[in-house]
Structure 1
Amino acid sequence: MQDPNEDGYEVVRAFDTDGRYVFNGDYKSSSIYHYSPYTDGMIQKYCSDPAIWNLWEVVSFNDLCKLYSFYLKRSNLKDNVTHFNKSVRLLRNAAAHNNCLLIGISEK
């Protein structure tokens, strides 16, 4: 987001070649965006032509990881932490949905 040589809108267009992240004003027809009073204003105002910093605020963690990996590859950058993204996502989802984190632990 602070790269002066990168256009935040172009990153999204290159990432989203089929327009899945473009909000058309109707939550029912969008599989990416779900109505929330916390994000509705931002989605309505900015996501008809989103920049990377707009998506950063409103997409799922899984989509955020995909977008970040795409940006790194596009920019020929490397972030060694990205190989933890799947584990972090699974742990975050389990904690957020009150799942048992100790599945498979024996009584011993």
Structure 2
Amino acid sequence: MALDIEHFAKVELLKVIENSDIDAYDLVEDYIKSLDEVRLKILNDELNRNMNNPYCGDIIAKYKDNYPIWDFMEVIPFGRFINVYRFCAETIYDKKLRDNYFLLLSIKDLRNATAHNNCLINNLSPRTSNHRTNYGLIHELSKIGISNEVHSKKMSNARIQQIVTLLYTHKRIIKSDGVINHQSEVLNETITRMYKHIEYYRNNEMVTTNFGFLKTIVDNWYPIV
């Protein structure tokens, strides 16, 4: 789902840029100029590491020092893309892009955790998150009957907050019914697997209530059609 979001976020950003009067080459140049010496070195190191990459090395060789935005996005890592996304949002003065930027920050952490096979439920305690939950997300939770008390407690856990932010952002950004329907099937299979031996956790309220919280969200946001 994070990969879906990355792809469609790029598509959405390019559409916004194409509908503006901003030059695609100037945009990248202005972004690079905005970096201080330390951050510029980090960017150059990222690009240099990909010079021999068979999937994007030729793009770097062709456009080095003069990238259009659509090719620049193909040769930078996800974390860098999020930073570029914010710069574009501020340059174009697009509020929706700026809101998406903060959602993408949360998704990056979850994406990295899953890429490294980290355990996602080794700490479901409340008050572990360092970020406030997105207002639009809170509104969507209230629409499916989740009370302020429940969402405040559950979303104060960093892991749960990131997972639910991923689900919300996927609904917000993805424009393909086929992609959404596919992920709905996968999510419902995941929920079924979570509950296969729910009796194992009968004495662990933290697990059972968080599982129930996620099930309610998936049932309402990603029903099988």
- TM-score of the superposed pair, with normalisation by structure 2: 0.40
CA-based RMSD: 2.5
Q: Which residue of 2 aligns with 1:26?
A: none
1:77 shift after superposition: 1.0
Contact 2:20 2:92 in 1 (8 A): no
The answer as to 2:105 corresponding to 1:86 is: yes
State the SS of the aligned residue for 2:62.
Answer: helix
In 2, distance between residues paired with 1:72 and 1:4?
12
Correspondent of 1:11 among 27, 35, 50: 27
Q: Deviation per CA, 1:11-52, whole angstroms, max 9, x where unpaired?
A: 11111115938x9xxxxxx41222321111111112331121
Q: Is the 8 A contact 1:47 1:54 kept in 2?
A: no
The one-letter code of the counterpart of 1:9 is: Y
SS of residue in 2 equivalent to 1:58: coil
> Which of 77, 94, 99 is equivalent to 2:118?
99
Q: Deviations over 1:49-105 (max 9, x none)?
A: 112111111111111111111111111111132221111000111111222222214
Structure 2: runs of 5 or more not aligned: 1-13, 126-200, 205-225
Cα separation, partners in 2 of 1:7 and 1:102, compared to 1, 3 Å: same
Q: How do 1:6-45 and structure 2 match up within 5 A?
A: 6-17=22-33, 20=40, 30-33=44-47, 34-35=49-50, 36-45=53-62
Which structure's residues are more often helix, by fraction? Answer: 2
Amino acid paired to 1:65: I
1:56–1:9 Cα change, 3 Å: same
Structure 2 residue identity aligned to 1:8: A
Asked whether the 8 Å contact 1:8–1:51 carries over to 2, the reply is: yes
Contact 1:12 1:50 survives alignment (8 Å): yes
Ranges in structure 1 where 5+ consecutive residues have no aligned partner = 24-29
Query: What percent identity do the matched residue pairs reach?
Result: 28
Q: CA deviation at 1:9?
A: 1.0
Measured in 2, the distance between the counterparts of 1:70 and 1:47 equals 20
Q: How many residues align?
A: 101
